[in-house]
Structure 1
Amino acid sequence: MIALARKTLVYEWRRFVPSVFAVGFSGVLLVMQAALVLGIFGSAALYVTASSAQIWVGYPGTQSVNFGRDIGRDVEMRLRMDPDITAVEPYVWVDGDWRAASTGQGDAHGGVSIYLSGIATEASSMLFARVLQPWQRERLREPGAVIVDQADLGTLGAQEGGVAWINGHRVRVVAAVSGLRGLGGANVLSSLATAREIAGPGHEAGGTYFVARLRQGVKPASVRDRLNQASPAQASFGPYEAWTARDFARRSQRYWMLDTGAGAGVLFMALIVCLVGSVVTSQSLKAVVAASAREYAVLNALGVSRGALGRVVIEQSFWIGALGFVLAAVVSSLLLALAMAYRVPVALTPMAVTLCALLVAVLSLLSGLGAMRSLLRADPASLLR
């Protein structure tokens, strides 16, 4: 009876095409929704994931990277005293107002909210190590030099080599790169000296965060726990809290995903996508079973048990789900490539792909069970009329 399921799919493929497309449609919706969620909220942790630092230190209770508060320079000394830390860098965060103009500050293109990141310019620096090339860091050493994302050039009204003003300070765009697009505002990179000058008095020392690199083989969690250990000596360095890079990235993503209205809206849309996909797939498979009702009734009248017929329906659902997933994978790959070409924030992880595949399999299985239930309830005598 199991061979019957495959032979039916082959010889009556036209009947099953709508079901395959229904499953594929559901898979595409799931994959694209997952890619958008990971891309949009993953950008909230861009500052962490684009850097090679293993430990981040900031003000206690910071919910997301963009909510950082200044901490004292003594914290840097505390990090340098740790035997497992080999390098420390300050990170200066400035909320700024960007104004671009062709002739002067008065003839401005318009104000745009930006996030200015002051970083070290050495070739081995950790911050944004996965985005910047050594020559780009070297360009940042020029007074007033900044780097922006290519996708934000239009928003900022800027171009490479152009001039703009941040909080009234003249800057020049020395390069435009890919991979800096963030959540909530345009990201702009500068040297520590430029960022502190723009930030104004009171920011000559210390930083919003300090990041650290560890010795080879050292577990970041152990260093984090040691840095966070409460003691009178630790308190003398001022208030701070340490996180591993992985924990701080997840902390930022979780805040934007679960603690904001935008995150709740996107997650609600994801649930709607799952519901729509399950309904479409279930109805499509039920239609296939209903169209084959007479054939199943004949087999049942010839002595084939309903349990055996149910197994045929389940295997058909399996093959439909497999074909639908292949279709979804092809279409999703094309859509993701198109989205990346237009710099839409999308991202996928192996875990997300696996979960989408499992959801498609569950949708197909549940739809097959629903179709089998309607088949088992049918009266063979009425079907043969």
Structure 2
Amino acid sequence: MSLALSTLIYEWRRYMAAVIALAVAGLLVLALVGMFMGIGKNFSATIDRSPAHIMILPPDSEGLGTSQPRRNIPLLFQHSEVVEATPFNVTWGQFTNFPEGEQKAVREGVQIYVVDPIPGAVTLPTDFPEDVILALQEPYSVILDVTSLNKLGVKVGDKAKINGRTVTVRATISGYPSLFNSMIFTSRQSAKLLGLVREGPRVGAILVKVSDPARTDTVAAELNVIGKGQFKAWTKPELSKRNQESMFKNSFISILLGFMLVVGVFIGVVITWQTLQGAILANIKEFASLRALGVSIGSLNLIIMELSFWVGVAGLGMTAILLVGVTALAGAMGLTMFYPLWSVITIAIMLLIISVLSGLLSLGVLKKSQPADLLR
């Protein structure tokens, strides 16, 4: 075991403030990234959990809530590997509850997803349990995420109105929260009764199943050739990734994350630097003893740099522990957290750079480690 690592282990109390500062700096940035990316995952939940292999959208669109000509459906079957192509309707509606007792009256805009409540249907999310599928088969029934109950002022079994027509909240699901407009799911038959779906010349996104899922990428590319620019075929991973990336095109989110990154770096550098300086000064006689034994100042500098590196590693470990706690807390509150690999790697490198930079700033303290001080 190296001298730097043993020093950190046996005198960990001296360096705990630096470790905590690094952990807080990393947690600050990662928690924000996780929250915003989690919101993005919520927006793309219907994409990620769809049984479709390919999604057909207008050439200039990247979202499911768009429309395109119905004539695109026959074009898709020109490809021999397309086995199913069904429109996926997404529409907007005005949700109004019937308040009871102390319930407040709610009038909210909601996003309505039309599904076919048949096991294996291309429009039915793969995580819908059997009881939810059965509930959707009842006329005028709707289901919503459990986190939207309070927001919409209803509970399971309550009646409400969508665009002035009465519906019944038959069941709830989880994993589809929304910080903005709540997601509501209903069957295609109920949507027709409610006037939400009409058989016209335009349809929503087209969900496609192929005979061999392993050839999804190839089939999508060949469908784009068949379409000749009339539509764009997306694989699920491509469309989900593009939806998440589009969030960071929002200038507000980019500015906020950039600001938090600067604040995190500043906090980490200043506190880590001052803590390392204080710890080195507390051990200045030990460093002076090493110089008296013939250890060069260059070797002592290397010890300090290695020590700062291990402080950074300890900070990474504490960041991971705190992040697990924050993620669990967010999950208990119905908030999805998602951490892309690039964000984890970037923050890990940032914390190590902060710790090493703090070590560089602390090297000047070693000038006070004069062997003559041992005689005082």
Q: TM-score, normalised by structure 2?
A: 0.87
Give, in angstroms, the shift of residue 263 of structure 1: 5.0
Equivalent in the alignment of 1:4: 3
Give, in angstroms, the shift of residue 289 of structure 1: 2.8
Letter matched to residue 173 of structure 2? V
Of residues 240, 251, 258, the one that matches 2:249 is 258
Q: Deviations over 1:125-151 (max 9, x none)?
A: 244524311331232122211110000
Give, in angstroms, the shift of residue 189 of structure 1: 0.5
Of residues 323, 333, 358, the one that matches 1:367 is 358
Equivalent in the alignment of 2:56: 57
Give yes or no for the alignment of 1:152 onto 2:153: no
Equivalent in the alignment of 1:35: 34
Task: Decide which moves more: 353-362 or 34-43.
Answer: 353-362
The 5-angstrom pairing of residues 11-160 of structure 1 reads 11-65=10-64, 68-102=65-99, 109-127=105-123, 129-160=125-156
Q: TM-score, normalised by structure 1?
A: 0.85
Give yes or no for the alignment of 1:241 onto 2:232: yes
Give, in angstroms, the shift of residue 165 of structure 1: 1.0
Of residues 207, 223, 230, the one that matches 2:219 is 223
Letter matched to residue 171 of structure 1? V
Relative to structure 1, the CA distance from residue 361 to residue 266 in structure 2 (aligned partners, 3 Å threshold; closer, same or farther) is closer
Contact 1:228 1:241 in 2 (8 A): yes
Give, in angstroms, the shift of residue 307 of structure 1: 1.8
Task: Decide which moves more: 209-218 or 260-269.
Answer: 260-269
Give, in angstroms, the shift of residue 331 of structure 1: 2.2
Give, in angstroms, the shift of residue 319 of structure 1: 2.4
Distance across 1 between alignment mates of 2:220 and 2:372? 69
Q: Deviations over 1:158-206 (max 9, x none)?
A: 1111111111122111111111113531000111233344455755565
Letter matched to residue 99 of structure 1? T
Letter matched to residue 214 of structure 1? V
Letter matched to residue 37 of structure 2? L
Letter matched to residue 5 of structure 1? A
Contact 1:94 1:199 in 2 (8 A): no
Contact 2:26 2:264 in 1 (8 A): no
Relative to structure 1, the CA distance from residue 30 to residue 284 in structure 2 (aligned partners, 3 Å threshold; closer, same or farther) is farther
Relative to structure 1, the CA distance from residue 278 to residue 88 in structure 2 (aligned partners, 3 Å threshold; closer, same or farther) is farther
Relative to structure 1, the CA distance from residue 46 to residue 138 in structure 2 (aligned partners, 3 Å threshold; closer, same or farther) is same
Relative to structure 1, the CA distance from residue 266 to residue 145 in structure 2 (aligned partners, 3 Å threshold; closer, same or farther) is farther
Distance across 1 between alignment mates of 2:23 and 2:365? 24
Give, in angstroms, the shift of residue 113 of structure 1: 1.5
Q: Deviations over 1:228-251 (max 9, x none)?
A: 2267xx57xxx4222111121122
Give, in angstroms, the shift of residue 268 of structure 1: 3.7
| SS of residue paired to 2:55 | strand
Distance across 1 between alignment mates of 2:38 and 2:132? 25
Give yes or no for the alignment of 1:335 onto 2:326: yes
Equivalent in the alignment of 1:320: 311
| SS of residue paired to 1:258 | coil
Distance across 1 between alignment mates of 2:171 and 2:201? 27
Corresponding pairs, count: 372
Distance across 1 between alignment mates of 2:213 and 2:57? 24
Give, in angstroms, the shift of residue 24 of structure 1: 2.5
| SS of residue paired to 1:164 | strand
Equivalent in the alignment of 2:188: 192
Residue segments in structure 2 that go unaligned for 5+ positions in a row: none
Give yes or no for the alignment of 1:166 onto 2:162: yes
Letter matched to residue 116 of structure 1? I
Determine what percentage of the aligned residue pairs are the same residue: 25
Letter matched to residue 356 of structure 1? I
Aligned CA-pair RMSD: 2.8
Give, in angstroms, the shift of residue 13 of structure 1: 2.7
Give, in angstroms, the shift of residue 334 of structure 1: 1.7
Give, in angstroms, the shift of residue 75 of structure 1: 1.7
Task: Decide which moves more: 168-177 or 246-255.
Answer: 246-255
Letter matched to residue 241 of structure 2? R
Contact 1:22 1:280 in 2 (8 A): yes
Could you list the structure 1 runs, at least 4 aligned residues long, displaced by more than 6 angstroms after superposition. none
Relative to structure 1, the CA distance from residue 127 to residue 202 in structure 2 (aligned partners, 3 Å threshold; closer, same or farther) is closer
Letter matched to residue 280 of structure 1? I
Residue segments in structure 1 that go unaligned for 5+ positions in a row: none
